[in-house]
Amino acid sequence: MKYSKAIVSLAFTIALCYALNRGWGTAPAFGRFLSPFTGFWVNAEKPLSDKPVQGSLQLAGLQDEVTIEYDELGIPHIFANNDHDLYLAQGYVTAKDRLWQMEFQTHYAAGRLTEIVGEKALESDKYNRRMGAVYGAEKSLAGMMEDPQSKVALEAYSEGVNAYIDQLKVRTLPVEYKLLGYQPERWTPIKSALFLKNMSFVLASGTDDLRMTNILRKYGREVAEELFPNYPFEESPIIPTGTPQDFTPLPLPKAPADFVGTGSMKASTERDKGIGSNNWAVSGSKSASGLPLLANDPHLTLSLPSIWYQMQLVGPNVNVYGATMPGTPNVISGFNKDIAWGVTNVGADIVDWYEVKFKDAKMNEYWHDGQWKKITKRPERYIMKNGEVVLDTVLFTHHGPIVYLDNEKPFKKNIPTGHALRWIAHDKSQELTTFYQLNRAKNYDDYVKALSFYAAPAQNFVFASNQDDIALWVNGKFPLKAKLQGKYILDGTDKMADWQGFIPHAHNPHVKNPARGFVSSANQSSTDPIYPYYINWEFAASERGRRINQRLEGMSKITVDSLRALQNDNYNLKAAGILDKLISLVKAPTAKQAKAIKVLQTWNKQNDVGEIAPTIFETWSNLLYESIWKDEFAYDENIPMKYPSLDKTIQLIKQEPTAKWFDNVNTKNKVETLEELASTSLTATLDSLAKWQKADMGDTWAWANYKSTDIKHLIPGLDAFSKMNVKIGGGTGIVNATTERTGPSWRMIIQLGKNNAVKGYGVIPGGQSGNPGSPHYDDMVETWRQGKLNELLFLQNKNEKSARIKKTIKLTK
Amino acid sequence: MANNISTSDKESTFLGKLVSAFFSPLTSIIIMLAFVSQYFFDWWVIALAAFTACYLQAKSSGEAFRKGAGGIAMLWLLVTLYYHIATDGILSSKIASILPLNGNAGLLIVITVLIGGLVGGFAGMSGYLVRSSLNK
Give the closest residue to A102 by CA, choosing from A306, A262, A241.
A306
Least confident of A51-65, A100-114, A196-210, A717-731: A196-210
Task: Report ipTM for this prediction.
Answer: 0.89
Which of B43, B108, B130 has its CB closest to that of A37? Answer: B43
Whole-number Å distance between alpha carbons of A500 and B9: 90
If pLDDT is split at 50, 70 and 90, which confidence band does A1 have? low
Chain B residues inside the 8 Å CB shell of A12: 122, 126
In the prediction, which pLDDT does A546 show? 96
Of all residues in chain B, the one with the smallest CA distance to A773 is B91
Of all residues in chain B, the one with the smallest CA distance to A41 is B83
Give per-residue pLDDT as tens, A450-471.
999 999 999 999 999 999 999 9
Using the Cβ of A722 and the Cβ atoms of chain B, whether some distance falls under 8 Å is answered with: no
Residue A150 CB partners (closer than 8 Å, separation 6+): A144, A430, A432, A433, A436
Residues spanned by the domain of B97: 2-134
Using the Cβ of A170 and the Cβ atoms of chain B, whether some distance falls under 8 Å is answered with: yes
Least confident of A120-129, A132-141, A253-262, B14-23: B14-23
Residue A365, pLDDT above cutoff 60: yes
If pLDDT is split at 50, 70 and 90, which confidence band does B14 have? confident
State whether B119 and A35 contact (CB < 8 Å).
Answer: no
Chain A residues inside the 8 Å CB shell of B122: 9, 12-13, 16
% of chain A exceeding 70 in pLDDT = 98
State whether B90 and A774 contact (CB < 8 Å).
Answer: yes
Whole-number Å distance between alpha carbons of A189 and A579: 52
Give per-residue pLDDT as tens, A385-437.
888 999 999 999 999 999 999 888 888 888 899 999 999 999 999 999 999 99
If pLDDT is split at 50, 70 and 90, which confidence band does A113 have? very high
Using the Cβ of A9 and the Cβ atoms of chain B, whether some distance falls under 8 Å is answered with: yes
If pLDDT is split at 50, 70 and 90, which confidence band does A796 have? very high
Q: Is A448 annotated as a binding residue?
A: no
Chain B residues inside the 8 Å CB shell of A10: 126, 129-130
Chain B residues inside the 8 Å CB shell of A36: 76, 79-80, 82-83, 112
Q: What is the mean pLDDT of residues A232-249?
A: 94
Q: What is the mean pLDDT of residues A29-57?
A: 91
Chain A residues inside the 8 Å CB shell of B39: 37
Chain B residues inside the 8 Å CB shell of A19: none
In this structure, the number of other CB atoms found within 10 A of the CB of residue A796 comes to 10
In the prediction, which pLDDT does B4 show? 47
Chain B residues inside the 8 Å CB shell of A30: 115
State whether B43 and A43 contact (CB < 8 Å).
Answer: no
Residues in chain B: 136
Whole-number Å distance between alpha carbons of A787 and A784: 5
Residue A268, pLDDT above cutoff 80: no
Residue A273, pLDDT above cutoff 70: no
State whether A10 and B116 contact (CB < 8 Å).
Answer: no
In the prediction, which pLDDT does A584 show? 96
Of all residues in chain A, the one with the smallest CA distance to B83 is A41
Chain A residues inside the 8 Å CB shell of B38: 35, 37-38
The identity of residue A309, as a single letter, is Y
Out of A277, A429, A679, A681, which one is annotated catalytic?
A277
If pLDDT is split at 50, 70 and 90, which confidence band does A105 have? very high
Mutation target among A20, A30, A38, A41 for the B interface, most CBs of B within 10 A: A41
Please indicate whether residue B12 or residue A124 has the higher confidence score (pLDDT): A124
Mutation target among B48, B90, B108, B111 for the A interface, most CBs of A within 10 A: B90
Instruction: Give the total number of structural domains in chain B.
Output: 1
In the prediction, which pLDDT does A198 show? 87
Chain B residues inside the 8 Å CB shell of A38: 38, 42-43
State whether B83 and A39 contact (CB < 8 Å).
Answer: no
Residue A124, pLDDT above cutoff 50: yes
Residue A275, pLDDT above cutoff 90: no
In the prediction, which pLDDT does A47 show? 83
Whole-number Å distance between alpha carbons of A130 and A435: 29
Angle at A657 between CA A652 and CA A663, to 5 degrees: 95
- Concerning whether A303 is annotated as a catalytic residue, the answer is no
Residue A388 CB partners (closer than 8 Å, separation 6+): A119
Across the A/B interface, how many CB contacts are shorter than 8 Å?
121
Whole-number Å distance between alpha carbons of A98 and A115: 20
Which of B90, B97, B119 has its CB closest to that of A17? Answer: B119
In the prediction, which pLDDT does B136 show? 56
Q: What is the mean pLDDT of residues A244-260?
A: 91
Please indicate whether residue A385 or residue A285 has the higher confidence score (pLDDT): A285
If pLDDT is split at 50, 70 and 90, which confidence band does B15 have? confident
* Rg, Å, chain A Cα set: 28
Of all residues in chain A, the one with the smallest CA distance to B134 is A3
B-proximal residues of A, 531-590, CB under 8 Å: none
| B101–chain A nearest CA distance, Å | 12
State whether B76 and A35 contact (CB < 8 Å).
Answer: yes
Give per-residue pLDDT as tens, A638-677.
778 889 999 999 999 999 999 999 999 988 888 999 999 9
Residue A473, pLDDT above cutoff 60: yes
Give per-residue pLDDT as tens, B52-93.
999 998 889 899 999 999 999 999 999 999 999 999 999 999
Q: Is A351 annotated as a binding residue?
A: yes
The identity of residue A805, as a single letter, is I
| B91–chain A nearest CA distance, Å | 5
Q: Which residues of B touch A (CB under 8 A)?
A: 38-39, 42-44, 46-47, 51, 61, 76, 79-80, 82-84, 86-95, 97-98, 103, 108, 111-112, 115-116, 118-119, 122-123, 125-126, 129-130, 132-133, 136
Point out which residues pair with A334 in neighbouring strands: A322, A341
Give per-residue pLDDT as tens, B89-108.
999 999 999 999 999 999 99
Using the Cβ of A46 and the Cβ atoms of chain B, whether some distance falls under 8 Å is answered with: yes
Point out which residues pair with A760 in neighbouring strands: A750, A792
Residues in chain A: 813
Residue A271, pLDDT above cutoff 50: no
Q: Measured on CA atoms in the order A166, A171, A175, A180, is the torsion positive or negative?
A: positive
The identity of residue A542, as a single letter, is S
The DSSP code sequence of B40-93 is TS-TTHHHHHHHHHHHHH-SSHHHHHHHHHHHHHHHHHHHHHHHHHHTTTTTHH
State whether A44 and B91 contact (CB < 8 Å).
Answer: yes
Element (H, E) at A163: helix A148-167
Using the Cβ of A20 and the Cβ atoms of chain B, whether some distance falls under 8 Å is answered with: yes
Which of A35, A46, A719 has its CB closest to that of B87? Answer: A46
In the prediction, which pLDDT does A637 show? 65
Give the closest residue to B117 by CA, choosing from A509, A528, A478, A35.
A35
In the prediction, which pLDDT does A4 show? 86
| A715–chain B nearest CA distance, Å | 12
The DSSP code sequence of A243-312 is PPP-S-PPPPPPPPPP------S---PPPPTT-EEEEEEE-GGGBSSSS-EEEEEEEEE-EES-S-EEEE
% of chain A exceeding 90 in pLDDT = 86
Going along chain A from its start, the domains and CATH numbers come out as 573-709 (1.10.1400)
If pLDDT is split at 50, 70 and 90, which confidence band does A203 have? confident
- Mean pLDDT (chain A, rounded): 93
| B58–chain A nearest CA distance, Å | 14
Which of A2, A47, A721 has its CB closest to that of B132? Answer: A2
Contact predicate A88/A61, CB 8 Å: yes
In the prediction, which pLDDT does A51 show? 84
Least confident of A282-296, A392-406, A474-488, B14-28: B14-28
Contact predicate A781/A764, CB 8 Å: no
Strands A276-282 and A76-79: unpaired
Using the Cβ of A712 and the Cβ atoms of chain B, whether some distance falls under 8 Å is answered with: no
Whole-number Å distance between alpha carbons of B43 and A34: 9
Q: What is the mean pLDDT of residues A77-102?
A: 97
Residue A684, pLDDT above cutoff 80: yes
Q: Is A343 annotated as a binding residue?
A: no
Whole-number Å distance between alpha carbons of A611 and A704: 8
Contact predicate A333/A342, CB 8 Å: yes
Contact predicate A671/A617, CB 8 Å: no
In the prediction, which pLDDT does B6 show? 45
Which of A5, A17, A720 has its CB closest to that of B129? Answer: A5
In the prediction, which pLDDT does B114 show? 96
